[in-house]
Structure formats: structure tokens, C-alpha cells
Structure 1
Amino acid sequence: MKIKEYRSQFIQELTPIYDAGEAESFFYLILEEKKQLKRIDLALHPDLNFSEEEIVVWNLILEQLKKEIPIQYLLGKTGFYGLDFEVNENVLIPRPETEELVDWIIKSNSKSKKYKNLKILDIGTGSGCIAISLAKNIPNSQVYAVDVSEKALATAKKNAELNNVKVTFSNQNILDTEDLKQHFDIIVSNPPYVRNLEKEEIKKNVLDNEPHLALFVEDNDALIFYRKIAELAQKNLSQNGQLFFEINQYLSKEMVELLEKMNFKNIELRKDIYGNDRMISCHCEERSNHI
């Protein structure tokens, strides 16, 4: 069967669930992964064929896509900040908004001469996308990352090896942590922040497949992770160290108020590419007893 013919069938079968553009993007992602062909290759060679064995494989993937299993899980990988990451059902699929957070951290330190060897902590690392991207792009940094899920950490360790960076990983429940035992120049976290009342806004492919442990918090204490991490930051950020969060767009006002009450300074709220309040930064209050 000609690949171009199968492409039309593939897109047609998926359009009741996805829009045509998304279905087409799926086709070319799979084509590159499974057959090492790009869109241009198919345009230049319209008579290329799939074997019967290949059609069997493609039909299996098509059925899984119809069940709204994320294509990143089906391919076992995704791109983030110009790097490749393995992903599976134990970790969240990295989002473009999180790339923006990483970019903010990198650019805010790229011209700074204050720190020669930044010590960075990523809390709730998941796939390791934040920690690994920072380790790759901030020279001479020492990067640490923690997660409550051992399975997520196993994936993150693979991703560190894949991208040839050194990150020190540890299994840790941050809500049970009283002290981080050392000081950091940067603490960053993209913790669970979706309230149960917001589940109806979550797409089915996310709700049914991505780990709820990394997504949801109880409605009555939606800032539980932010409060705890900010408390630890008060003890364990270096003098004038930076704290970065990805946040729930509906709770930006509450986040600013929380950090103000805890005497953080230079609080800056930023919107993501979609115009939603999505990330926040602040500095630790200067204290003479910090190194």
C-alpha cells in the first residue's frame, strides 16, 4: 500500500477525535520514528510503500491513538528545550509552558557574574526535563533533583544519561522534609497544582493516562506544595537565592500573596505563550548568616 494512501486513511480515522492538523502531525512523527522518513521524503517520493508487516504495526498505533493514549507515550519519547527525553506512564509529558520556565531560569543567570558554580535543586523532577535542561545549559552548575516516585526517578536517570549530563537524584517526599541539608542558589519546582474541581478542563488523553500523583491536589489546600517548598527555601536558599515555580493559572493572586507573607522579595509573575499566569519567581530575603 502506498504510504500516501495510508496517510489519508490514517488522518480520516483520527479526525473524529483530533483535528486534521494534529492527526497529520501524528502521522509524520510516527513516520520519522518508525521509517526514518520526513515529510519532504514523502513529497519527493510519492510512490513509497508500506509492507504488510508495517501496516499491522501502524494499525495497532492507530487504535491506541483512537483510545487517546498520548503519542509521546506510544513513541516512548518527546522533545523538550532542544533535547530528547524518554517518557512513559510514570512521568508527565513535558509541556511548552515548562520550557518557558526553564528558559527564564537560564536567561536570568546567563549574564550574571554573581555565581560561578550555581547549585540548583529541582523538586518533583518527573522525567527530569527541568533539571537536565538546566544542567545542559548552565555551565559548571551542580544540579540536584528529587521526586517521591522511584519509577519517575528511574526514567529521569535514563534521561540524564541520554543527554550526557550529571544530575544527583534522590527519592524524597518533599512534604515530609524538614530541611534540605544544604544551601542552593536556585530552587525550582513544577509541583502538582491542578485542583479536583478543574478535572473537567483536563483533556481525556491526559486524565486517563498521565500520573495523577504528579497532577492533582485537594481543592481545600491547593497550595500545599508551594507553601512547603517556600518554607524550605527560607532555610535552604543561599543569600539572595532564587525560587522559581510553575503555577496554576487560577491561583496566581494567591501565590503572590503567599510569597509576600513569607517575606520573599522581587516577586515576578509571568504569563505563558497562551496568555495564562503560569510562572513566578522571587528572591530569598538577604540574611547575613547565609554563605
Structure 2
Amino acid sequence: MTIKHYRDQFIQELTPLYDAGEAESFFYLILEAKHQLRRVDLALQPDLFFSEAELETLSSILKQLKKEIPVQYILGTTHFYGLEFEVNSNVLIPRPETEELVDWIIQSSKFNPEVSGQNSKFKILDIGTGSGCIAISLAKNLHNAEVFALDVSDKALATAQENAELNQVTIQFIHQSILEIEDLGQQFDLIVSNPPYVRHLEKQEIKKNVLDNEPHLALFVNDNDALIFYQKIAQLAKKNLCPNGQLYFEINQYLGQETLDLLQEMGFKDTVLRKDIYGNDRMIQCTI
């Protein structure tokens, strides 16, 4: 069967669950991951075909997609900020909004020697690292940074360690519950976190493939204490950020002003609330 013909069949079988554009994007992700072929390759060689063995593999993947298992978990890999990351059910799949947070930090004149002209060493802590996408992307792009990454899940940290090795960066990993720490034990120039922030009342907005497959430990907080991680991390930042150190958060889009108010009440200055590419309140930067 030609690849183009199978592509049309693949999209048709998935459209009851996904829109055609998303189904097509899955197909090309699989094509590149499994066959090292890109969309342009298929356009230039329309007569390319799949062998019987390749069709069996694709059929297996299609069955998993019909069960609404995320394509990234099926392939075991995804891309984030131009890097490749292994992913599995122990970690969240990195999102484009988080790439924006990483880019904000990297483009900061304070930490990017290409902008600031300074090349002094500094320390970064990523709290709730999951797959390690934030910590590893920062280590890869800010060569004067010593990067630490903390998570409560030992399985998540094992995945993050594999990703650090995959991307050839050194990260110092810490296995700890942030809610149980009273002091981080050292000073940092920058603390960043994408903590759990989805309230249970927002579950109906979460797609089934996310709700049924991604780790709830990394997603949800109690409705009546939705800012618990932000408050705790901010308290630690007050103790463990260097003078003029910076704190960055990814946040719940519905709690932007509340999160900003919390940080301002705790004495943080130069607070900035920024929207993501979809126009939602999504990230905050502030200074100690």
C-alpha cells in the first residue's frame, strides 16, 4: 500500500476522535519517528509504499491511538525547545506553553551572556522537573548555569536523568517533596517551577487522552487550596534566592491575578504576568 493511501485511511479512522488536522499531525509524527520520512519526502516521492511488516506496526499504533493513548507515549519520545525527550506515563508530556516559559528565561539579559555580556556562573533550580524538559533546556542553552532539578517522583527523576544523558547535559537531581522542605540548603540565582495547578473543578476541560494517561500527581491540586505549591515555593524562594534573584512560574490561566497578588503580598517585586500564544495568562516572573 502506498504511504499516501495509508495516510488517508489513517486520518479517516481517527476523525471520530480527533479533528482531521490533529490526526494528520499524528501520522507525520509517526512517519518521521518510525521511518525517518518527513512530509516533504512524501510530497517529493508520492509512490513510496509500506511493507507488510510496516503496516502491522502502524496498525498497532493506530489501535492505541483509538484508545486515546497520547501519541508521544506510544512513540516514547517528543520534542521540546529543539531537543528530544523520552516520555512515558510517569511524566507529563511537555507543552508549547512551557517552551515559552523556557524561552523567557533564556532571553533574559540577566542570564544570557550573549545579551548581558556577563559570563559569571549562576545556579538554577527547577522544582517539579518531571521529564526534565525545563532544566535540561536551560542547561543546554545557558552554559554558565549550574542546574538543579527536584521532583517528588523517583520514576519521573529516572526519566529526567535519561533525558539529561540523551541531551548531554549535567543536572543535579534531588528526590524530595517540595511541600516537606523547610529550607533548600543553598542559594540560587533563579528558581523556576511548573507545579501542579489544575483544579478538580476544571477536569471537564481536560481531554480524555490527558486525563486517562498523564500522571495526576503532576496535574491536579485541591480546589480549596489551588495555590499551595506557589505559596510554598515562594516561601522557600524568600529564603533561598540570592539578592535580586528571580522566580519564574507557569500558572493556571484562571488564577493569574490571584497568583500575582500572592507574590506581591509576600514582598516580591518587579512582578510580570505574561500571556501564552493562546492569549491565556500563563507565566509569571518576579524578583526577590
Shorter-chain TM band: over 0.9
Query: Following the alignment from structure 2 to structure 1, what is the Cα–Cα distance between the partners of residues 38 and 118?
Result: 45
Give the TM-score normalised by structure 1.
0.96
* Residue 125 of structure 2 is aligned to residue 138 of structure 1: no
Aligned to 2:160: 156
Give the TM-score normalised by structure 2.
0.97
Query: Following the alignment from structure 1 to structure 2, what is the Cα–Cα distance between the partners of residues 3 and 209?
Result: 29
Query: Following the alignment from structure 1 to structure 2, what is the Cα–Cα distance between the partners of residues 264 and 48?
Result: 59
Runs of 4 or more off by more than 4 Å in structure 1?
none
Query: Following the alignment from structure 1 to structure 2, what is the Cα–Cα distance between the partners of residues 259 and 234?
Result: 10
Give secondary structure in 1 for the equivalent of 2:195: coil
From 260, 264, 268, give the equivalent of 2:268. Answer: 264
Give a deviation string over 1:77-116, Cα, whole Å, max 9, x none. Answer: 1111111100000000000100000011111122335671
* Residue 205 of structure 2 is aligned to residue 192 of structure 1: no
Which amino acid in the other structure matches residue 186 of structure 2?
Q
Give secondary structure in 1 for the equivalent of 2:147: strand
Unaligned runs of 5+ in 2: none
Aligned to 2:41: 41
Moved more, 64-73 or 109-118: 109-118
Superposed displacement of residue 52, structure 1: 1.4
Give a deviation string over 1:56-94, Cα, whole Å, max 9, x none. Answer: 111110011111111111111111111110000000000
Give a deviation string over 1:218-246, Cα, whole Å, max 9, x none. Answer: 00100000000000000000001000000
Which amino acid in the other structure matches residue 240 of structure 1?
N
Moved more, 218-227 or 3-12: 3-12
Aligned to 1:206: 210
Aligned to 1:116: 120
Matches within 5 A, 1:1-291: 1-108=1-108, 109-110=111-112, 111-112=115-116, 116-284=120-288
Task: Decide whether the 8 Å contact of 2:268 with 2:287 is kept in 1.
Answer: yes
Give a deviation string over 1:117-155, Cα, whole Å, max 9, x none. Answer: 110000000000000000011122100000000000000
Query: Following the alignment from structure 1 to structure 2, what is the Cα–Cα distance between the partners of residues 136 and 227?
Result: 29
Superposed displacement of residue 43, structure 1: 2.0
Task: Decide whether the 8 Å contact of 2:119 with 2:144 is kept in 1.
Answer: no
Query: Following the alignment from structure 1 to structure 2, what is the Cα–Cα distance between the partners of residues 217 and 259?
Result: 19
Which amino acid in the other structure matches residue 14 of structure 1?
L
Superposed displacement of residue 44, structure 1: 2.2
CA RMSD of the aligned region, Å? 1.0
Query: Following the alignment from structure 2 to structure 1, what is the Cα–Cα distance between the partners of residues 143 and 29?
Result: 32
Moved more, 153-162 or 44-53: 44-53
Give a deviation string over 1:7-44, Cα, whole Å, max 9, x none. Answer: 11101001111111111111111111111212222222
Moved more, 172-181 or 17-26: 17-26
Unaligned runs of 5+ in 1: 285-291
Query: Following the alignment from structure 1 to structure 2, what is the Cα–Cα distance between the partners of residues 204 and 33?
Result: 24
Which amino acid in the other structure matches residue 63 of structure 1?
K
Give secondary structure in 2 for the equivalent of 1:49: coil
Percent identity for Structure 1 against Structure 2 = 73
Query: Following the alignment from structure 1 to structure 2, what is the Cα–Cα distance between the partners of residues 208 and 154?
Result: 22
Query: Following the alignment from structure 2 to structure 1, what is the Cα–Cα distance between the partners of residues 94 and 219?
Result: 12
